[in-house]
Structure 1
Amino acid sequence: MLSVNGDFTGRPETQIYASNHEVVKIRRDLRLTARQADPWLRKVLERECKLEIHHPKKTWFYIYSEQDGVKLQDEEVLIGNITPRLRPLHKFLELKPGTKQARADALQAFSEMFRMYLIKAQEFEVKLDEGLSNYALDADSGLFYVDDELYEWDKFISFSMMLGVLIRKLDWLDRDFARALAKDLGKQLDQIFGDLNYRASIAYQLRSAFMPAGKKRDIANLICATLTDSPGGQKGDTSRISMGWSMPNAAELSVPDADSIAGLNAQGQVLSGRSEQTLDSARPLALLADVHANMPALESVLDWLQQEGIEQGVVLGDLVGYGPDAIAVVERLQSSGFYIIKGNHDHSIALGAFDRGLSKNARYVAEWTREQLSDEQLKWLKRLPPVLDTAQWMALHGSPLDPEFFYGYIYEMTYRENLDKLGELQRRLCFHGHSHMPGLYGRDAEGQDRHRTDERLSLSDFQHALICPGSVGQPRNGYPSAQFAIYDPEQDEVVLKALTYDHAPVVERMRAAGFPAELYRRLDRGV
C-alpha cells in the first residue's frame, strides 16, 4: 500500500489499510507491550491535542492478547490509528492548475501548509515532516498533518531543502506562481517570527541547494529574490538603501557567476546594507568586524583606509554592543559606502530580544544601547542582511554552519566542520567575525588543516579558508589595538592590521554610563 508518488508513502514498517472512507495505519515499528502502550498513547494524545494539526477524528488504538479474558500486560501489542480518508497534498498539486481558480486553490494549499509548519516551529520549536505526502485536504479544503512524527527544529534547513524539491518536482511551477508563493511565505515569516533574518536564511540555503540550470534555477533565484526584497519598499526609494536591502546589479560585482550570489531582489539586485558604490573584485577589500560602538577605534581604521586609498570594504557585524558610541558608529558606517552585515548584538538590540547569545554584561549594554538609538536606526539594524555571498567568497558574522549566521563560533573545536561546510557550499573563502581573534583556519589541497596568525597570510596554499580580521573595538588576543584586515584578490592574500589609538575617552564614557567594569577594563588589556 506504500509506494512512491502513490496516495500513501512512508516507512516500510508501516502497514496501511484503506477504504473509500477511512485509512488505518498499523505502526509495526513500535515494539511496545500492553503495559507500555497505555502511557505511551496517553503522551501521544496529549501532544496531538496540544498541537491541533491532526484531523479531529484521528483515533489511536492498540490490539492486545488475552488469556482467559485477561489482558496479557507483558505481551507485545499492535499499535495503530484510524483517520478519515483525505486527499494527499502531493496528489492535489501534481497536476497543473489550469484555471485561475485552480491556481488560487493551489496557492492557498501551500499557504496553509507553510502556516501550519511555521506556527508549530515558532510555538513548540519542533518541525513537521516537510514532504507534501504528510499533509492532506478534507472535502472542505481544510489542511491536516497526517504523519505521526515530530522532529527537532533545525532553523529552516529542512524547510529550505523542501522548497528546492518542490521547484525541481513541480514542472508546472512558473514565475508568476513562484513569485506569489514567495510573497506569501515572506509575509508569514514576518507575521509569525517577527524577524526579517529568517527570510535571508531561507533564501541563502535555497540558493545553496542543487538546482538544474535553466528554468528551475531561474525559479529558485526568483523565490530568493522575492524573499529578500524589502517589505513595502519601492524601487528608487532611498529609504530602502538606508534600511539595508538594496545592492548594485549582480554584474557590477565582477564575479564570474552572477547566479551564485545570494540575496537577489526582484530587479536582479543583490542584498546588502550599503550605499550605491559598486564592488570591484580586483581591488583590495577592507574587512572590519566587531566595532562594538567604539568610535575612536573605528575612526582610526577609517582614517588609515582613506590614507591608503582603500575605498571598499565589508563590515562583518556587531556594529554595536559593549561600547558607548552606538549612535556615532551607526551614523558613520551608514555613510561609509561599505557592505554591512548583521551580528548577534545588532540583531538582539534591533529586536529588543536580549535572552539569547548575550552574557549578563553584554545584556546590560544591549538594553542601554536600544534606549539610545532612534527608531530609524533600530529599523536599519534590523534590516541588515546576515550574509553576503559571491562565487568565490562569503561573508558573515558567525559561521557557515549556523543557519542563522551570527551565533556560531569558529575556533579550535569547530573549524574543521566549518571548512567541510565551505566545501559543500563550493566557496573558497569565508570572512567572519564574532570570535574577535584575528587569523586563518585553512585546508590545503591534500586535506591538511592549518591555523595561521601571521600578519601577512598567503591564501594560495588553501582550497578553503576561514578568515577573521579580529575586532575593531573589542580585541581579545591580548593586544589593545583596533584590528582589521585587507583582502587583496590579485595577490591572493590577507594582511592583518592593528592600529594603536587612544581608548581612554571610550573607557571614561563607559564608566560614566555605568557599564560593568569588566567591559572597559578589557580595552586596557585587549582580552
Structure 2
Amino acid sequence: MIQIAVFSDVHGNLPALEVVLKDIEERGIRQRFCLGDLVDFAPWGNEVIEKIRSLNIPCLMGNHDERIAFDIPVVPLSKHSEEETHARFIAIDHSKKHITEENKKFLSELPFHLKLNYKVEKKHWDIQLVHSSLSSNDTYLYESENDEVFKTMLKESRSDIMVMGHTHLSFKKQFENKTWAINCGSVGRSKEENRLASYLVLTLDEEKITPEIVQLPYPIDETIQQIRESGIPDYYVSFLKNEKVSIL
C-alpha cells in the first residue's frame, strides 16, 4: 500500500496550510503534491511559497501563480460581481507588490502539470496531476460537467486517475472502467459551505485506488484578522465567514 496527499489553492492562507500539512504528517504520508495557486487573497503569499520550497513539495503552476510570476494584467471576468471585481484587482495588486523577486522566480519555474507512476506489487498506477485541465490552468470543470470531458482527459493522459483543483469545490467521480476524476478542493479559500481546508488522500493497493477527501477546521479568525490588517479588501473576510458574497 502507498498513500499520497494532494492539495491545491492555498491562496496565501498560511494557517490553513499548516493545519493540512500537520494532518498529512500525523497520517505518516510522505508523498505530498500541490496543484498550485499559492498566492492571492490572504496575506501570507511569501510564507506559503517558502513553506512549499523548504519542504521540497512538488508544486504545479496555478493561474494565480502564473499571473504574479509574469505580471500578467488582471482582466474583469463576467461571472464576477462588481464588488468581487473591485476586490480582486486590489488583492492581486497586493501580491504583485509584496511577493519577493526570488519567490516570483520560483513561481515562474513551476511545471504546468505532472504525471506520476506508482508500482504496488505487480500493478502500475498512472496518476495525472493538473491545476485545472491538461491544456489550461484556468478552465472550470465542476462535478456537473459531462462525464465525457473527464474521460477524454483521462484517455489523452493515459491515466487511471486525474486530480485537479482550481474550482475550490471538491468531488470524486469514478467511471465504468474504474478510472477516477477528482477535485481535491481548496486549502485556503474553499467555496464549500463549511469553508474547511480540503485536501485529498489517495491509497494505492494492488487491486484498487481509494480516494478520501479530508476537510479540516483551521484558525480562520487568525486569517480574517490578518486580512483586515493587510490592506487586502474585507470582501475576502466576508467570503471566509460565508456571508453573502459572489463565490463563482
1:394 equivalent in structure 2: 128
Offset, 1:380? 0.4
Q: Residues 6 and 34 of structure 2 are in contact (CA less than 8 Å); yes or no, is this contact kept in structure 1?
A: yes
Task: Give the aligned partner of residue 100 of structure 2.
Answer: 374
Report what 1:522 is aligned to. 239
> Which of residues 39, 46, 56 in structure 2 aligns to 1:320?
39
Runs of 5+ in structure 2 lacking a partner? 118-125
**Cα distance between partner residues in 1 of 2:11 and 2:146:** 24
| Pair 488,381 (structure 1): closer, same or farther in 2 beyond 3 Å | same
Considering fraction of residues, name the structure with more strand. Answer: 2
Which of 162, 187, 210 is equivalent to 1:430?
A: 162
User: Does the 8 A contact of 1:389 with 1:395 survive in 2?
Assistant: yes
For 2:15 and 2:147, locate their aligned partners in 1 and report how far apart those are by CA, in whole Å.
32
2:139 to 389, 408, 425: 408
Percent identity of equivalent pairs: 25
State whether residues 354 and 366 of structure 1, in contact with CA within 8 Å, keep that contact through their aligned partners in structure 2. Answer: no
Greater than 3 Å deviation, 4+ residue runs: 356-359
Structure 1 gaps, min length 5: 1-281, 446-461
Counterparts of 1:414 and 1:382 in 2: how far apart (Å)?
Answer: 33
Q: Distance in 2 between matches of 1:329 and 1:443?
A: 35
1:343/1:414 Cα in 2 relative to 1: closer, same or farther (>3 Å)?
farther
In structure 1, how many angstroms separate the alpha carbons of the residues matched to 2:116 and 2:71?
31
Q: Is the 8 A contact 2:7 2:184 kept in 1?
A: yes
Q: CA deviation at 1:517?
A: 2.5
Equivalent runs, 1:152-171 vs 2, <5 Å = none
Q: With the length of structure 2 as denominator, give the TM-score of the two structures.
A: 0.85
User: Which among 101, 110, 132 is matched to residue 384 of structure 1?
Assistant: 110
Residue identity in the other structure for 1:488? T
Mapping 1:207-246, distance limit 5 Å: none
2:122: which partner in 1? none
Partner amino acid, structure 1, of 2:5: A
Query: Among 473, 477, 484, which residue is 2:192 paired with?
Result: 477
Q: Distance in 1 between matches of 2:222 and 2:43?
A: 10
2:229 and 2:146 mapped to 1: Cα distance? 38
Tell which structure's C-alpha radius of gyration is larger: 1
Counterpart in 2 of 1:96? Answer: none
Q: Aligned to 1:520, what secondary structure does the other structure show?
A: helix
- Report the aligned-residue RMSD: 1.9
Q: Per-residue deviation at 1:421?
A: 2.5
Q: Quote the Cα distance in structure 1 between the aligned partners of 2:109 and 2:34.
A: 15
Deviations 1:248-296 (A, max 9, x none): xxxxxxxxxxxxxxxxxxxxxxxxxxxxxxxxxx521111110110000
Q: Of 338, 344, 358, which residue of structure 1 is paired with 2:57?
A: 338
Larger relative contact order (Cα-Cα within 8 Å, sequence gap ≥ 6): 2
Give secondary structure in 2 for the equivalent of 1:365. helix
Q: Normalization by structure 1: what TM-score?
A: 0.41
Change (3 A) 1:312 1:291: same
Question: In the alignment, which residue of structure 2 is the partner of 1:310?
Answer: 29
> Which residue does 1:489 correspond to in 2?
204
Aligned to 1:505: 222
> How far does the alpha carbon of each residue in 1:276-330 deviate from its partner, in whole angstroms, 9 at most, with x for none?
xxxxxx5211111101100000001111112221122110110111111101111
Distance 1:416 1:330, change over 3 A: same
What's the secondary structure of 1:363's corresponding residue? helix
Where does 1:243-258 land on structure 2 (aligned, <5 Å)?
none
In structure 2, what is the equivalent of residue 441 of structure 1? 173
Does the C-alpha gap of structure 1 residues 304 and 441 become closer, same or farther in structure 2, counting only changes over 3 Å? same
Structure number with the higher helix fraction is 1
Looking at structure 1, the residues matched to 198 and 204 of structure 2 have their Cα atoms a distance apart, in angstroms, of: 20
1:521 positional shift: 1.3
Is the 2:7–2:200 contact (alpha carbons within 8 Å) kept by the matching residues of 1? yes
Output one character per residue of 1:38-71: Cα deviation in whole Å (capped at 9) or x when no partner: xxxxxxxxxxxxxxxxxxxxxxxxxxxxxxxxxx
Query: Are the aligned partners of 2:94 and 2:232 in contact in 1 as well (CA < 8 Å)?
Result: no
CA distance in 2, matches of 1:421, 1:301: 28
How much does 1:393 deviate?
1.4
User: Cα offset for 1:362?
Assistant: 2.7
CA distance in 2, matches of 1:408, 1:485: 20
Distance (whole Å) between structure 2 residues aligned to residue 424 and residue 410 of structure 1: 16
